[in-house]
Structure 1
Amino acid sequence: MQLFKPLFFCSLIAFFLSCSTKEKKSATVEKNETPVISKKAEQEDNNSKIEEETREKTKAEESSLDDDTTEVKISEKDLEIIFSSTNYWFEYNDSIEKLENDTINFELDLGNDVRGLNIKVETSKYDSIEVYQQYKNVISLMNDGKHCDLVNWKSHSSEWLAIKTIEANKHFQIDTFEYSVDFVSFNLNDLKVEVKNSCGEMWYDLIKEIKEIQNINEYPFGVATYKFYLKFILHNKQENIKKEKIISFSLPLGC
């Protein structure tokens, strides 16, 4: 009987030790089944996603760049007009100015022009639309690359001419043409006074000794096209409404 007790207690201790080992092993296995991600790896994964999103956004912006810079839309209550060109970058960038008498003006940057410009009327309450063009010339005074343009003095305006119609009442195009160098008659002394007042003494000294101008397009003088106009004649026959809208373009005259 004495021998039985020690054996019993030894067996009992061995049993508890065995269960404790199994529990530890089981806990270790469960712990290994849960993936452990370090903060560094998680941050790298987030950075990779951000870089990918940035690349996709940049790609989308680049793909739409041409559309954004070569097309300008004018939206009003009764009319929506789209100007577009593939020959140059027709930029908007707050260059539009609403003037009196239902006139809109665009300031074009150096290198831009209106020739070849496409004009589409997207929405309109008018069933008859005609578009005409006109341009204005001014005298320009030149000196070794510099110039002074007399935009507030006498000017020559061309006749109003209908532009090309591609689709009646919807799609028009300004032809590529050469601006004329025609100008109105003027008094030489009046010209000198205007140059002195508008351009300054340096420019006046350049021409003060001139007695006669044989050709207004001979150096140091020249004729420059300063403004281009589009006139829309809009007619709603059902409501008996007829109106005109003028869109003017201030053309770049150089440095």
Structure 2
Amino acid sequence: MTSLHACFQSFDPDAFPQAAIAVSLGGSAHDVELPLHTHRKAQLVVALQGGVMCRTQDGLWMAPLGGGVWAPGGTPHSNRVTANGRVCMLFVEPDVPGLPDRCCTLSLSPMLIEMIRHLARQPTPDYAPGGHLDRIAQVILEELRRTEIAALHLPIPASPALRRIAEALIDNPGDRSTVGEWARRVAMSERTLTRLVVRETAMNFSRWRQQLQIVLALQRLSSGASVQSVAYDLGYESASAFITMFKAALGKPPAKYIAAAAPR
């Protein structure tokens, strides 16, 4: 099992004509793939242990244990695996129909994960058309067409002012500054900033910041951080306040959400 860095120094997924190929990777703490880069093939990064975050020019997508981040072919992207994480990567030809045409987080079934892992365990991705592995690949693609999209996405707007705020919050998610305080930092009125956030993200400022906190919370929880430490990092006065927010947003408290996402 190779690291993210080593994989793309020695492996070119676009060199293989198969509709779908897979490879297993190990990650180290804060292991980043490459700077923003593209493949001709689409890419699904499956979190087998820990979690993975995908960054594009337009946003962040988080896949906790048992989930996957999908990037269509030709999309500039970079992936970060949580500490002690393990992932599988599935690469899919861009002309395969019925698959997402935008970046997204997918909720993967245990069966689908096991099939992708089986494909990744093969000595070479260069399997013959019509053979056993080709048929498995076709089932994988059919299951992907039926997979649900999870709302684990933080839009990063095109506006320079909002990008500045987003980067600052990613670096310091515990910053509890008000909309008015952020507006002064980016030299605009509170009303203008409020309208700009809604126009570019389809969320109000509080909801946008909460979505950032959910994405970053899942990243930390997937790496094994405690609920209490995550709550503190995100600026909550108590773990119970963080748990209440998390449950309202995702339907389960953090521990149960992470447990439910784990492959059986």
Q: Same fold (TM over 0.5)?
A: no
Structure richer in helix, relative to its length = 2
Structure richer in strand, relative to its length = 1
Q: What range is the shorter-chain TM-score in?
A: under 0.3
